[in-house]
Amino acid sequence: MFRKISVLILASIFLSVSCSNEEAAPEPKRIVVATVDQIEISETSFQRAYLPVLLYGDKFDSEENRSEMINFLIGQKILAKKGRESNVDTSAHIVRMREAIENRALSRQLYKTWVKDQLELPSEEDLRVGFKRGQKGLFVRHLFAKTEDEIRAYSQRLASGDESFYSLAQEVFTDTMLSKNGGALGWMTFGDLDETLEDTVYSLKAGQVSQPVRSQYGWHILSVDDTQEEVFITEEDYQKNRDLIYNKILERRENLLGKQVLNDFMKNFKIEFNREITKQVWPQVIAHLNPDGAQTGPALEVSGLSSSLDNLRNETLLTVDGDVWSVAEILKKLPDLDRSLLYGNLYIAASNIIRDEMIAREARELGLQNHADVVEEVQDSQDQIIADTYVGLIADTLEFTPDHFWNYYEDHKLNKYHAPDSLKIEIYGFSDSTVARRALYKLRDANISTDPSEKTLWITAGGETNQLFTLSRSIAIGTMAGPVRYNQQWNLVKLLERKRFPLPFDSIKSKIIEDMERERFATTRGILLDAFRPEHKISIDYKLLNK
Residue 290 has pLDDT above 70, yes or no: no
Helices (H), 402-508: 402-412, 433-446, 466-472
What residue spans define the domains of the chain?
136-229, 398-415+504-545, 422-499
CA separation for the pair 78, 384 (Å, rounded): 10
Q: Which pLDDT belongs to residue 293?
A: 46
Q: Which pLDDT belongs to residue 461?
A: 81
* 3 state SS of 3: strand
Residue 298 has pLDDT above 60, yes or no: no
Q: Which pLDDT belongs to residue 149?
A: 93
Phi, psi of 386 (to 5 degrees): -65, -45
> Across the beta sheet with 271-274, what order do the strands follow?
2-4, 271-274, 316-320, 323-326
Residue 287 has pLDDT above 80, yes or no: no
Structure confidence at residue 9 as a pLDDT band (50, 70, 90) = very low
Radius of gyration of the chain (CA): 31
Q: Which amino acid makes up residue 423?
A: L
From the number of C-beta atoms within 10 Å of its C-beta (0-12, 13-18, 19+), residue 189 rates as: middle
Structure confidence at residue 330 as a pLDDT band (50, 70, 90) = confident
Q: Cβ(73)–Cβ(45) under 8 Å?
A: yes
Where would I find the beta strands (DSSP E) of 20-150? 32-36, 39-42, 136-145
Q: Cβ(446)–Cβ(467) under 8 Å?
A: no
Please name which of 404, 387, 363 lies closest in space to residue 516, comparing C-alpha atoms: 404
Residue 433 has pLDDT above 80, yes or no: yes
Structure confidence at residue 16 as a pLDDT band (50, 70, 90) = very low
Residue 220 has pLDDT above 50, yes or no: yes
Start-to-end CA distance of the chain, whole Å, equals 61
Where would I find the beta strands (DSSP E) of 204-351? 213-214, 219-229, 271-274, 316-320, 323-326
Structure confidence at residue 304 as a pLDDT band (50, 70, 90) = low
Q: Which pLDDT belongs to residue 190?
A: 92
Q: Which pLDDT belongs to residue 535?
A: 94
- DSSP H or E run through 48: helix 43-56
Count of beta carbons in the 10 Å neighbourhood of residue 187:
14
Structure confidence at residue 547 as a pLDDT band (50, 70, 90) = confident
Please name which of 277, 285, 144 lies closest in space to residue 221, comparing C-alpha atoms: 144
For 434, left (φ over 0), alpha (ψ -120 to 50), or beta?
A: alpha
Q: Which pLDDT belongs to residue 28?
A: 62
Residue 446 has pLDDT above 60, yes or no: no
Structure confidence at residue 4 as a pLDDT band (50, 70, 90) = very low
CA separation for the pair 257, 456 (Å, rounded): 64
% of the chain with per-residue pLDDT over 90: 45
CA separation for the pair 333, 330 (Å, rounded): 5
Residue 441 has pLDDT above 60, yes or no: yes
* pLDDT per residue as tens digits for the range 140-191: 999 999 999 999 999 999 998 888 888 999 988 987 888 888 899 999 999 8
Q: Which pLDDT belongs to residue 26?
A: 53
CATH architecture classification, 136-229? Roll (3.10)
Stretch 106-131: mean pLDDT: 92
Q: Which range (26-30, 112-116, 145-149, 218-222) has the least confidence?
A: 26-30
Polymer length in residues for the chain: 547
Q: Which pLDDT belongs to residue 291?
A: 55
Stretch 320-335: mean pLDDT: 86
Mean pLDDT of the chain: 84
From the number of C-beta atoms within 10 Å of its C-beta (0-12, 13-18, 19+), residue 448 rates as: exposed
Q: Which range (192-201, 324-333, 506-515, 536-545) has the least confidence?
A: 324-333
> Residue 363 CA to chain centroid, in angstroms?
25
CA separation for the pair 133, 233 (Å, rounded): 12
Query: Higher pLDDT residue, 265 or 25?
Result: 265
Q: Which pLDDT belongs to residue 319?
A: 92
CA separation for the pair 300, 17 (Å, rounded): 28
Residue 253 has pLDDT above 70, yes or no: yes
CA separation for the pair 475, 484 (Å, rounded): 14
Residue 223 has pLDDT above 70, yes or no: yes
Residue 308 has pLDDT above 80, yes or no: no
Q: Which amino acid makes up residue 248?
A: K
Query: Higher pLDDT residue, 204 or 294?
Result: 204
Q: Which range (116-120, 358-362, 482-486) has the least confidence?
A: 482-486
Q: Which amino acid makes up residue 161?
A: G
